[in-house]
């Protein structure tokens, strides 16, 4: 992935900063509204045959993505949405911009929707979100609470109990009808 479509927001400041550090390998293309970023990601998937990625902040930013993600779902295209969430220590507290993102995205990103609860989990969630989007030609979603965004990245060394190691391997099957 070389391009992410999105719009900055303070709920994703650490991710936006990470993208700045990742320049020019990954470019954050900003839209004027998150809905347009989601449509751009779907459009990217359609014109390129690749997976499209969009990024939005917690609360209103995340809500704005929905229509563009449904576009991907109904036309069967792979798109990964990365969205921020309020700090996990305040979840359930009726916090500023707190929205039940699981409920909100469960239909459109029904194939894979996961909130990251610790830095150890980031690799597997991102891998699975991308792989599932491609394998099912549908949108998937990664929710990242603010405190997880700020945590130092975790480098895995080996398989261990309670640690799932994954890899960014994607292949497509050759599908032919069974002989009559």
Partner 1 sequence: MLDVVDRLGAGIATSLLGKPILDESLPFHCGVMGHLGTTAAADLLAACDTLLIIGSSDPWTEFYPPVGQARTVQIDLAARNLGAKYPVEVGLAGDTAETLRALAPMFTAAPVPGPAPAPGREWRSQVEGMVASWHDVLDSRVHTTAELLNPQLVVHELSAHLPAGTQVAVDVGSVTYWYARFLRLGPDMPAHLSSTLASMGSAMPYGLAAKLYRPDRPVVALAGDGSMQMNGLSELITVAARWRQWADPRFVVLVLHNGDLAEVSWEQREVEGDPRSARSLAVPTFPYAGYAELLGLRGLRIGAAREVGPAWRAAFASDRPCLVEAVVDPDVPLLPPRQAEDDVTQTIRALRLEGNVTAAVQLRQQRRQEAHHPAAGRPGGP
47-55, 78-86, 111-119, 152-160 -> range binding partner 1 (CB under 8 A): 47-55
B/e letters for 42-63, b = 16+ CB within 10 Å, e = fewer, are bbbbeeeeebbbbbbbbbebbb
Question: In the range 56-95, which residues lie near partner 1 by CB under 8 A?
Answer: 67-68, 70-71, 73-76
Does position 139 interact with partner 1 (CB under 8 A)? The reply is no
Nearer to partner 1, 153 or 178 (CB): 178
What is the C-alpha to C-alpha distance for residues 54 and 90, in angstroms, rounded to an integer? 25
B/e letters for 76-106, b = 16+ CB within 10 Å, e = fewer, are ebbbbbbbbbbbbeeeeeeeebbbebeebbe
Does position 43 interact with partner 1 (CB under 8 A)? The reply is yes
Does position 105 interact with partner 1 (CB under 8 A)? The reply is no
Binding-site ranges for partner 1 (CB under 8 A): 3, 5, 29-33, 35-37, 39-44, 46-48, 52, 67-68, 70-71, 73-76, 174-178
């Amino acid at each position: 992935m070389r391009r992410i479509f999105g719009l900055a927001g303070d709920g994703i400041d650490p991710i936006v900063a990470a993208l700045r550090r990742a320049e020019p390998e990954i470019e954050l293309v900003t839209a004027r509204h998150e809905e347009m970023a989601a449509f751009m990601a779907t459009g990217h998937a359609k014109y390129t045959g690749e997976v499209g990625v969009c990024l939005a902040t917690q609360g209103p930013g995340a809500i704005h993505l929905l229509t563009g993600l449904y576009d991907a779902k109904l036309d069967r295209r792979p798109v990964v949405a990365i969205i921020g969430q309020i700090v996990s220590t305040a979840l359930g507290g009726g916090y500023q911009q707190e929205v039940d993102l699981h409920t909100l995205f469960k239909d459109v990103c029904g194939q894979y929707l996961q909130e990251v609860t610790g830095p150890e989990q980031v690799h597997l969630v991102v891998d699975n979100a991308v792989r599932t989007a491609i394998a099912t030609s549908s949108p998937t979603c990664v929710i990242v609470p603010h405190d997880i965004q700020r945590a130092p990245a975790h480098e895995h060394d080996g398989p261990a109990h309670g640690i799932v190691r994954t890899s960014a391997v994607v292949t497509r099957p050759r599908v032919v009808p069974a002989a009559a």
